[in-house]
Every structure is written in C-alpha cells, then in structure tokens.
Amino acid sequence: MKLNGQGLADRAGWEAAGFELPKFDRTKVAQATRENPVWIHFGVGNIFRAFQANVVQKLLNNGEMDTGLVAAEGFDYEIVEKMNRPHDDYSILVTLKSDGSVEKTVVGSIVESHTLDSQNDAEYGRLKEIFTKDSLQMASFTITEKGYSLVNGKGEQLADVAADFAAGPDKPKSYIGKVASLLYARFQAGAKPIAMVSMDNCSHNGDKLYAAISAFAEKWSANGLVEQAFLNYVNDKANVSFPWSMIDKITPRPDASVEEILKKDGVEGLEPVVTSKNTYVAPFVNAEECEYLVIENAFPNGRPPLEKAGVMFTERETVDKVEKMKVCTCLNPLHTCLAIFGCILGHQKISEEMKDVELKKLIETVGYQEGLPVVVNPGILDPRSFIDTVINVRFPNPFMPDTPQRIATDTSQKLAIRFGETIKAYQASPDLDVTQLKLIPLVFAGWLRYLTGINDEGGSFELSPDPLLDTVRPYVAGQKLGSTVSADELKPVLEDSKIFGVNLFDAGMAQEVVRYLNEMLAGPGAVRETLKKYV
C-alpha cells in the first residue's frame, strides 16, 4: 500500500486496513481548483495537514465544496519537493484519541502544491495566476509568528526585507515580500477583493500579517515602485481584510510509534524526511481529536461554508476574547509550565508530566486560581470547561507523543503573552492584587533555571531553539548548583518587558523570582523540592 494516486487505486485494501478515504472525485476537484481556486494556504506544516486540510476534505466529502486546497511553502521548499509531490499531495491523518482508539484518514483535499520561489518562473507564475483569479476568496497562513517579522531578534531589519523594499515587487526574496508581490498581482488584475487570514497561534495574528504586508505596500509606494492606489487597496477592508483568528489543535512531530502502526497496516514508504533546513516531515501527521478554529467573519469576496465542518465565525471582539482565554490562561501558559519544568526534570512526554503530582498541581493553580479570575468569558467557549478539557483530556492523553522539548521552543517569545497579560490584568483590577500571583513568578524563575542547561540531577540537557538564547543565557550560564545570583546581576533580563510583558521590578516580582531561582539552584533535587514547597 503506497500513499500516492496509484497506490490508492486499491481502495478496498486501504479500507480493509481501517483507513477512511476521500469520497470525492479528486480529478474533477483538481481541475475545478485549477480553473477557479478558492483557497490558497501558505505553510504546509503539520497543523495545516491535520486541521485545515481535513476541514476541506469533510466539505468535499459532503458536497459542500467542489474545489480543493492549493498549498504553498515559502520557508522550506524541500517539504513540497520531497514530501508533497512524491505522494501526489496525499497525507495520512492519524487522530490519537484519549480513549486509546486511533482514527486513520487519508487526506486528499490538497490538489496543488507549490514553492513560494520568485526565482522559479513556473512556480511563481502559477501563484500569480491563482492570485489574479476572480474565484479566490482567501489566502491563509500557518508560518509561525516569526514568519511575519521583518526584523531579527535584535530588532534589526532583515537583509532580504531591506533589499525587497528597495527593489520592488518583481522578484522579492523575503517571505512576506513575495506574498505582498502576489497581492500586488491581484491588485493589478482589477483590485479584486480577498481575505488574508493568519491562522497562526499568536495574539491578534491578522494585525501582524497586515503590519507586515502594509509595510511593503508603504515602502514600495514611497519609493515609486508601485502605485499609491496599491497602498490604498491594502488599507481598504472592503477590498483586503486581515481577520483575526484563534486556532488550537495539538499536532506534535510525526512519531515513530505512529509510523509503526501504519507499517503494520501495510503502508509503505513512511520514512520521514529531514530537510537541509532541519524540518522533520513525514507522509503522516499525528494529532489529538480536540480542535478549535474561531475566525472573524470578514471575507470581502465571500468564503467557503467552513462552519459546516466545525469552524466558528464571529466578530473580532469575540475572537479576541477566545484568543486571550486560550493563549493567556487556559492552555498556552499551562503548556509552557510543563515545557520548562519537564525539561529540567527529565520528562519526555507531556502526558507523563500529568502523572507528576507537583506539575499537575502547578498548572491547576496557574490556570484555575491565578488565570481564571481575569479571563473574560467569550460566550462561544466557556473558559472553565476549556481548562477542564485541557487538564483532564488533552494533556493526559497517553497516545499523544508531544514533548516538553518541543513546547519549550522560543519560550522567550511566549512569556509576555502567556503570563504578562495576566499580570497586567491584576495590576489594572481594583479588586485584585498582583502580589497574589505566587506561581507565575515561580515559572519565570523556572525558565531562568532552565537556561542554565543543568537538569535537576546536576547533569546537562540540550536547550530548545530560541532567538534570545545568546542574549539572555549569558546572565545565568555561569551558575552552578549551589551558587546564588542577585537581582542586580539579572536586572537587564528582569526589567525587559519584551520578555515578561512587564518590568518585573515595577511589578514587584523581581526579588521573588530571584528567591525562587536561588532555591532551585541550591543543589541536586532542589527544583523538585521547590515545587513541593510552593505548589
């Protein structure tokens, strides 16, 4: 059983092995998509293949859509070249349910895949053609929050961005420059309306996408490289919208245990590919069953009926409430707690950590006691029920191969939103006192302890990638077990509101964070003892 068009011709064999197959005429859908594309998505990573692609598959199966997805990859072309195309754009979604059951779906809704390569006339020409079509309703993105940034971790403008600002929209080099160039092609074809929909897991994601694209429109217009009318087009919500969205579905890296399940079913050619950019991709994705996608209903050229596959549409204010509920309180902060302490304590799975008495109590306290008092109920999702599902169903799922090491990636970019917003809400509240927050400072101290690279037994462990490692780590890298550090020594870090969301000295937390840190540096086992003492 091979995962490609030829191999899937044996439907009976796949179905006998328990796979759900596409129920639509894929050749017909591909042709309709080529002629009248409706949805193009940038970023062909795991969450897209597990979530958005499956949403479209459900709609195709039910006859609610007659066109499929166009996928474009702008960061790592090898994903398309070495994974999508050899498998004719098919992938396998393995849903790992908390009751131990496994659901296997062959997803065939992606019917075109392209590299966002402005130097490749065939690839880029097709993308421009897609962007000039009247039928195109939306371009969506899962390119990570860093994908929208035009500067590096030090705030310096990226070289490719600077070059693109000067050279114009002909053959840009930067990711967003290429997207802006495609949008310019749509403008030139008649200023046709479109929704540019960030579906990345970051706050006010639509604004981040808008800021990046409008920066190109402004520079190109100011430099006389495009018409002023293009800038007006980008800024006119009746033509180009940038809806906010909130997405939530845990999709860990494809796991060897899942690969073994599929091999036993008779599927061949499942070997993962590690690209030259160190992207790890496989012909399958493994994911949890829970999923949420809430989108601001702002689509100037119409949209597919995604609500019929579980997507929730609402106004911007509600998306904001849902996003803050999840990112600032009900899921992301709890994930970061488990990531930081899981790495220090040697855990290899998030689900294992949920059997750790202190860590479970830590996230319960951070979520229910410290976070929930400042959450605004968005109405369409209940915050307490959301946390209940996270703590009792999602995180403990023993079949989800998610790791604290993966979640610990880019922690310096996450703390301000995941914890800083709660601190600010306490500061602004007439009824709450920021000194009531005891475990959020403990998590901050845990992150500084994590940055030493010393586990709780005194051995070393590998830190996950983070753009500020070289900036922040030197302040703690010299610490050994048994040493102490002062608030003055850590002042440049502790007062950095870009990291924590607030200046920890101004918030009255700096000394407490340092006290916790020194307790966790006391010797082998000190992190565990500190957790026992305070949670």
Tokens describing residue 502: 């607030």
pLDDT, average across residues 81-95: 96
The pLDDT-based confidence of 184 (bands split at 50, 70, 90) is very high
pLDDT, average across residues 199-215: 94
pLDDT at site 477? 86
pLDDT digits (tens, 9 = 90+) for 335-390: 999 999 999 999 999 999 999 999 999 999 999 999 999 999 999 999 999 999 99
204: left (phi over 0), alpha (psi -120 to 50) or beta: left
210 pLDDT exceeds 90? yes
Q: How far apart are CA 46 and CA 93, in angstroms?
A: 10
Give Cα 240 to chain centroid, integer Å: 23
pLDDT digits (tens, 9 = 90+) for 277-294: 999 999 999 999 999 999
Find the helix packing angle between 159-167 and 175-188, rounded to 10°.
20
Q: How far apart are CA 182 and CA 125, in angstroms?
A: 10
Q: How far apart are CA 74 and CA 472, in angstroms?
A: 30
Nearest CA-CA partner of 110 in 128, 134, 130, 87: 87
- Tell me the pTM: 0.85
The pLDDT-based confidence of 172 (bands split at 50, 70, 90) is very high
Q: How far apart are CA 473 and CA 477, in angstroms?
A: 6
| DSSP-assigned states of every residue in 453-505 | TB-TTS-B-PPPP-TTHHHHGGGTTT--TT----TTTTHHHHT-HHHHSS-TT
pLDDT, average across residues 394-415: 92
Contact 13, 92 (CB under 8 A): no
Q: How far apart are CA 214 and CA 235, in angstroms?
A: 7
499 pLDDT exceeds 90? yes
**Burial classification of residue 247, based on how many CB atoms lie within 10 Å of its CB (0-12 exposed, 13-18 middle, 19 or more buried):** buried
- Running DSSP on this structure, what letter comes out for residue 377? P
- Running DSSP on this structure, what letter comes out for residue 170? S
| DSSP-assigned states of every residue in 211-270 | HHHHHHHHHHHHTTSS-HHHHHHHH-TTTEE---EEEE---PSPPHHHHHHHHHTT-B--
